[in-house]
A = this chain, B = another copy of it.
Amino acid sequence: MESLTELEQLALAAPINLADGHPRQALTSGQRLIIDRLPELFDSAEAETLDRLEERVQRTFFDALGQCGAPMGDGRVFSLYSSSVATTVLATCLSRRRARVALIHPTFDNIHDLLSGAVPLVPISEAALAEADPGGLGRDGATCVFVTTPNNPTGRWLGRDQLERLACACAAAGLLLCLDTSFRGFDPRTQFDTYEVLEGSGAEYVVIEDTGKLWPVSELKLSFVAVSRGMREEFGHAVRDVLLSVSPLVLRLVEELAIDGAGGGFARLHELIARNRAATAAAIDGLRGVAMPDPDARVSVCRLRFASGPEADRVRRELAAAGVHVLPGRQFHWAHPEQGDRDLRLAVARSPHVLDEALRRLRVVAARQSPVEEAIR
């Protein structure tokens, strides 16, 4: 089975790419002004010490997303090239401590692929995580729980109370709690102070924060990883095998974009995603056998559910033939691919006119049911 990123790569050259979850909408006027200042940001980044720059940028980004309790200034927030590189570093740590990981199911397959080379994985459902059933977590012998929240592709997230229960259950059972919050920026409901909850629980934790999904700035991005006191040495050592420092210029860029975000940029982003999710709902309105299974989600990816696996597959192939690339659902369900058979995933961090044209073609293709499907009905 091809990985999702391999399928995304085919779509990079496609006329309309709704495959990858990277931000591909047009720059806002505020973001444009920041890009125009890149040479100035280059100079200002070089003019101060890296320590000072890095800590200030991290604080600005975390504060902009409500994460005021993050352990800045204590050597417990690390900057990396991307969330995937952060996951790679985490995999190294997990391998060294011979962890057994209960990994959220479904989720984006590269999280599974990066971890599975290092440690044994057992699936844990979004429902079980929301219930924070410590017995369930321990039953499979897991020593670590990994949660993507908000999740990709479902948009499901842990609320404050749910996270608190899960973190306390992990603390009680001695489990390491790992969170990937790359999609946090899209959903204000997930922007309560995660670190206050985590520090209060006493759990050991690793949180992978990410700037990469938010701003369409030519893949210039960072991942910030915040860890509990007990993980500092272990994670820090693994980080230093991979990099000495990230780019000071990219740090400055992230700082400016976070300031712009807090000053209205995030609100505009949320409007764009809400508008595009609504347009997607409108496009399938009245089509038999197509639904949006996650109506409450706010992330920049959106699932569609079809009447059958073959029908979802037909739509995906015919859409590709019509120049529109989307992702299949199977690979997200890394332990039980058949559970994703009926789903397609659309990336909606796109300019409205791009998305609307893709949706127009989707409507045509989805309405054109195959003779076999017709016969089955």
Contacts and interface: CB of A to CB of B under 8 A. Distances in A.
A370 interface: no
Contacts of A74: none
Contact of A35 (B39, B95, B217): B39
Nearest to A221: B247
A39 B39 contact: yes
Contacts of A3: 237, 240-241
A322 interface: no
A39 B38 contact: yes
A298 interface: no
A42 B51 contact: no
Number of this chain's copies in the complex: 2
A46 interface: yes
Of the four ranges (under 10, 10 to 19, 20 to 34, 35 or more), the interface on chain A belongs to 35 or more
B5 A240 contact: yes
Contact of A92 (B46, B117, B237, B243): B117
A206 interface: no
Looking at chain A's contact residues, the main secondary structure is helix
A81 B82 CA distance: 9
Nearest to A240: B5
A375 interface: no
A349 to B, nearest CB: 14
Given A38-B42, A50-B13, A84 B218 contact: no
B92 A81 contact: no
Interface in A112-155: 113-114, 117
Contacts of A38: 38-39, 42
A219 B46 CA distance: 11
Given A6-B240, A81-B81, A81-B82, 11 more contacts: A5-B243, A12-B244, A13-B50, A13-B51, A38-B42, A46-B218, A82-B243, A85-B88, A88-B88, A92-B117, A220-B249
